Amino acid sequence: MDKIAVIFGTRPEAIKMAPVIKTLQKYPKRFKIIICLTAQHRDLLDEVLRLFEIRADYDLDIMEENQSPFEVTSKGLLGVRGILKKENPDFVLVQGDTTNAFTSALAAFYLKIPVGHIEAGLRTNDKFQPFPEEINRRLISQIADFHFAPAKQAEENLISEGIPKDRVFLTGNTVIDALFYISRKVKDLKILTKRLSFLRHQPSARLILVTAHRRENFNAPLRNICLALKKIVSRNNDLIVVYPLHPNPNVKGPVEKILGKINRIKLIPPLDYASFVYLMSRAYLILTDSGGIQEEATALGKPLLIMREKTERPEAIREGVAKLVGTDIDSIVRNAEILLNSKKTYKSMAKMVYPFGNGKAAEKIIKIIKDKI
């Protein structure tokens, strides 16, 4: 029996790791799974674990308000070291590009434990966009022994950087697995919670879903995003903007100051994942600086405006269902209003495409692990 340590700490990691864990659990005679949380997203993380019925074996609980990458790195590295030395797993799985993913891979490397990297090979080729994720994922690529690429471009990135071809595997992204799983559940759930009850009273309003929380968008870029939203709502009377606010005070405070009293802009606490999937499916248009939502929106057929200067997921843009608009006020407003006012443009972008996989990524990853370790 092979012992596999699965390590993660944020809600996006949990969502993308959940299908992998559930698939591993199908092989109890082959794998012993050690689930380790660093938990820098405490409440958001716990909600995902409940939704997917996953229980952790270890919980470092390193979350502190407004902590920097210095604290996350040091606490995560030392905490994961202790777990790995105690359990001595045969293999470690990390996901994505968080500081936790990097420090977990580094701890495994120091202990000479093989590492598998899920969602490997994403690149913007700008070390500060996104920050610190671009460097985190590049460093993990130097450590990992198996690289599970979510899309063709990511696979090509890894091979061009000198990663041996026989260590790179095109699997699709496990977020699509999670999305399909939850979408099926949402149909059977009474999903309009109190936080979303206002939607019952505005069934004909076009809903714009907004998420913006990336570190590189703090301060002036986030202010621009807020001012753009304010302008869009003031010029389009049939809209409602829903903005689930990330709890980071660098996001929550500035957004509430600018948008807190604007009619038809609803600032709500972070949603559980099932409710958020419902909200994405209900949206007319999505504006985001998130990475994962770029993948989910394409599978749901929702036009997407990416409020970043660069993206490591160019596939959606190539498919014509997403556009990179940056954080300039005029750019955000102009591109949003084109989609709001041009049925032809909207229709061209409102189509389901699957450049990030077909919902079978976790099965592919576990098959590779079974064959290779």
Please give the chain's pLDDT, 373 residues, in tens.
899 999 999 989 999 999 999 999 999 999 999 999 997 667 778 888 998 999 999 999 887 777 788 988 999 999 999 999 999 999 999 999 999 999 999 999 999 999 999 999 999 999 998 999 999 999 999 999 999 999 999 999 999 999 999 999 999 999 999 999 888 776 555 555 566 777 777 777 899 999 998 888 899 999 999 999 999 999 999 999 999 998 888 999 999 999 999 989 999 988 888 888 888 988 999 999 998 899 999 999 999 999 999 999 999 999 999 999 999 999 999 999 999 999 999 999 999 999 999 999 999 999 999 998 7
> Is 133 tagged catalytic?
yes
> Is 81 tagged catalytic?
no
- The C-alpha atoms of residue 286 and residue 196 are separated, in whole angstroms, by 17
C-alpha Rg value of the chain to the nearest Å = 20
Residue 69 has a pLDDT of: 85
Residue 186 has a pLDDT of: 67
Residue 203 has a pLDDT of: 73
Name the catalytic one among 81, 167, 215, 264.
215
The enclosing H or E element of 285 equals: strand 285-288
Name the catalytic one among 117, 213, 308, 313.
213
Residue 41 has a pLDDT of: 66
Q: For 21-74, what is each residue's pLDDT tens digit?
A: 999 999 999 999 999 999 766 777 888 899 899 999 999 988 777 778 898 899
> Is 119 tagged catalytic?
yes
Residue 66 has a pLDDT of: 73
Name the catalytic one among 11, 117, 123, 133.
133
Distance from the Cα of residue 37 to its chain's centroid: 17
Q: Return the structure tokens found at 231.
A: 């302008």
Residue 315 has a pLDDT of: 93
Q: For 158-181, what is each residue's pLDDT tens digit?
A: 999 999 999 999 999 999 999 998
Residue 44 has a pLDDT of: 74
What distances in angstroms separate CA 73 from CA 37, 56, 86, 99, one per listed residue? 14, 21, 20, 6
Judge contact between 304 and 297, C-beta under 8 A: yes
For 226, list phi and psi in degrees, rounded to 5: -65, -45
Residue 1 has a pLDDT of: 81
> Is 308 tagged catalytic?
no
**What residue ranges do the domains of the chain occupy?**
2-173+357-372, 189-349
Name the catalytic one among 13, 41, 47, 97.
97
CATH 3.30.70.3270 fits 189-349, yes or no: no
The enclosing H or E element of 256 equals: helix 249-259
Name the catalytic one among 246, 289, 309, 313.
246
Residue 205 has a pLDDT of: 87
Do 2-173+357-372 and 189-349 have matching folds? Answer: yes
Give the predicted TM-score (pTM) of the model: 0.88
> Is 246 tagged catalytic?
yes
> Is 195 tagged catalytic?
no
Name the catalytic one among 13, 47, 119, 295.
119
The CATH number given to 2-173+357-372 is: 3.40.50.2000
Residue 222 has a pLDDT of: 95
- The C-alpha atoms of residue 14 and residue 246 are separated, in whole angstroms, by 16
Look at the block and give the residue holding tokens 């596939």.
Answer: 315
